């Protein structure tokens, strides 16, 4: 994984996405805490990011962007609720990352076929691979 600043940027983006509906539910915070832990970021640092965003750093590789898109999709579905604004925001984040619009659309459509709308990583990767070939 990338630099410390990239990790902070990843978490900041996730926090901003979680707040699209103007709230941060406990389930979302718990998920953010797990991601922070996996990125080796302390809880105190995560809590600081809740108050002040970290500068946005564009992820270098397509694989890193796909992983971040998947994290955001998991975050969106963690509370078992989906709102149009969340889906639209996730779609736009994917576009800003440089992901193919058709792949983003396909992922957002197929997620409803899986329990809790969690697209398995191999399915997600295969969708993006198909759109890059």
Per residue in 27-39, pLDDT (tens digit) is 999 999 999 999 9
Domain 4-132 has CATH 1.10.3680: yes
Cβ neighbours for 110, distance < 8 A, ≥ 6 positions apart: 119, 123, 127
pLDDT of residue 17: 95
In this prediction, residues 94-111 reach a mean pLDDT of 96
pLDDT of residue 44: 96
pLDDT of residue 133: 66
**Mean pLDDT of the chain, nearest integer:** 93
Domain ranges of the chain: 4-132
pLDDT of residue 80: 78
Among the listed residues 51, 53, 92, the one whose alpha carbon sits nearest the alpha carbon of residue 69? 92
Q: Is the pLDDT of residue 1 over 60?
A: no
In this prediction, residues 76-89 reach a mean pLDDT of 88
- Up-side HSE of residue 9: CA atoms within 13 Å toward CB? 15
């Amino acid at each position: 994984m990338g630099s410390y600043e990239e990790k902070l940027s990843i978490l900041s983006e996730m926090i901003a996405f979680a707040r699209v509906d103007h709230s941060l539910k406990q389930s979302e915070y718990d998920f953010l805490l797990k991601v922070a832990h996996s990125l080796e970021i302390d809880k105190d640092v995560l809590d600081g990011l809740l108050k002040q965003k970290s500068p946005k750093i564009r992820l270098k590789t397509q694989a890193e962007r796909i992983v971040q898109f998947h994290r955001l999709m998991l975050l969106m579905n963690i509370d078992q609720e989906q709102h149009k604004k969340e889906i639209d925001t996730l779609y736009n984040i994917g576009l800003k990352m440089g992901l193919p619009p058709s792949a983003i659309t396909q992922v957002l459509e197929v997620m409803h076929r899986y329990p809790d709308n969690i697209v398995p990583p191999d399915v997600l990767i295969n969708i993006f691979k198909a759109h890059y070939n």
